[in-house]
Amino acid sequence: MDASPQCRPLTRADYRFDVVLAIVVFVGALISAALSSIAGVYGAEQQSSMGLAIGYAAVISLPLAFRRRWPSVVAVIVALAYFAAVSLRIPETFAGSIAMFVAIYTVGAWSTDRRRARIVRVALITGMFLWLLVTMFMQATAPTDIGISRTGSFSPFVAVTLLNLMINALYFGGAYYLGDRAWNSALQRAALEQRTAELEAEREVTAAQAVALDRIGIARELHDVVAHHVSAMGVQAGAARAIMQHDPDAAREALLGVEASARTAISELHQLLRTLRTASDVEADSSILSLDAIPALVDAVTASGTPTTLTIVGEPREVPQFVQVNLYRITQEALTNARRHAGPGATADVRVRFSDQAIEVEVTNTGRTVLHAVPGMGQLGMRERAAVSGGEIAIGPRPGSRGGYLVRVTVPVAASDSAEVSA
């Protein structure tokens, strides 16, 4: 049993259209049969009765209401009815021809079994032409005159015969071609709709990923800004409280450090807000964070109570701004963790190495080591920054028994260049 084509499922509107088509063809067949009977197309004595014509009209029209559900079955029924009508001289051919065309067209346009569709149409068309040739041969060899002259090398009878052959060739060929064309157009339309749906789904996924990446980036920036400066403010405020009674001047200096850290945090937050409100390419030009700012960062950490040294190895080279910001933030987070977790008396060291192959930043600190610490947001942010910069990062206790912690990030030169392009 044929079903509606996979390229487009049948709708209620399709069913309603087919029912209306069947009714129209039925009414047209009745009118055509009445007029043909009055006109006596087969002669008053040779044509069948009107009762048989009404039955014929029902057989060729009513199956059209199901033509898209069972295309092949409907085509065979209509074709057999049409053959019988002509053989029995039922006074109706106009509506039957229309029904035949629609049925053959529907097989090509709606049958999912393309092999069956081809076989059914070829069989019907071949049978129709064979039947037409047989009928013409019988008329040509009939002893009685059928009203068309047969005399001459190219008689009117021959002309009518050739005309019938040409009309039927165009008729059935058109039904075959248009049916296949409708099927192929439906497939193309379905493929286009599917591709459109896939693109829409991909667009939604991409948009969701972009939103997620933006949220991750904002969370990372907020953590780096707030964690570093608030940690420094806490250390400096605690130191000021401890020495406020016996060393007011030192306490005042500590409070000035708290004030400076607060101002710096506000400045960086404003910078972050400006970056969020403007185009992405503005960040690279307006950002105040770079490798050149690491000395000031080291001085600030030293001032907050964690003595820190800075060593630059190699000849400084041009580094994409995007990579500079990430290296600065990784250094900042590593020093913040050292200040928070290394304990009193701890020191830190920052080394920036420039080579022909890579840029490396290493932050180490002395003091206690938490062996089973659960990685927090800070470590996650450092790993993300290293990854988006195209580099690698190592985070963990310093090798040997010296204690302390090590953070080392290496960004290849080629990766840093590509990171600037992707940024």
Token code pair at residue 151: 């005399």
Q: How confident is the model at residue 4 (pLDDT cuts 50, 70, 90)?
A: very low
Output the CA angle 263-265-269, nearest 5 degrees: 115
What is residue 3's predicted lDDT score, i.e. its pLDDT? 44
Q: Which residue has the higher pLDDT, 317 or 422?
A: 317
pLDDT at 346: 86
Residue 227: pLDDT band by 50, 70, 90 thresholds? low
**CATH architecture label of 290-423:** 2-Layer Sandwich (3.30)
pTM: 0.51
SS3 9: coil
243: its two tokens: 């020495």
In this prediction, residues 158-180 reach a mean pLDDT of: 79
Does residue 412 contact residue 386 with C-beta atoms inside 8 Å? no
Residue owning tokens 């850290």: 261
pLDDT class for 297, splitting at 50, 70, 90?
A: confident
Residue 117 and residue 72 in contact, taking contact as beta carbons nearer than 8 Å: yes
Give domain limits for the chain: 12-202, 290-423
Q: Residue written as tokens 């030293």? A: 302
The overall average pLDDT reported for the chain is 79
- Rg over CA atoms, the chain: 45
pLDDT tens column, 41-87? 665 555 567 778 888 889 999 999 999 889 999 999 998 988 888 77
For the stretch 85-120, pLDDT in tens is: 877 778 777 888 889 899 999 998 888 888 888 999
Bigger pLDDT: 266 or 200? 200
Residue 416, pLDDT above cutoff 60: no
User: For residue 339, what pLDDT band results from cuts at 50, 70 and 90?
Assistant: confident
Check residue 85 and give its pLDDT.
82
The pLDDT value recorded for residue 308 is: 92
Confidence band, pLDDT 50/70/90 cuts, at residue 375: low
Output 107 or 288, whichever has higher pLDDT.
107
Instruction: Look up residue 363 and give its two tokens.
Output: 């932050």
Task: Provide, rounded to the nearest whole percent, the portion of the chain with pLDDT above 90.
Answer: 17
Q: Is the dihedral of CA 14, 15, 18, 20 positive or negative?
A: negative
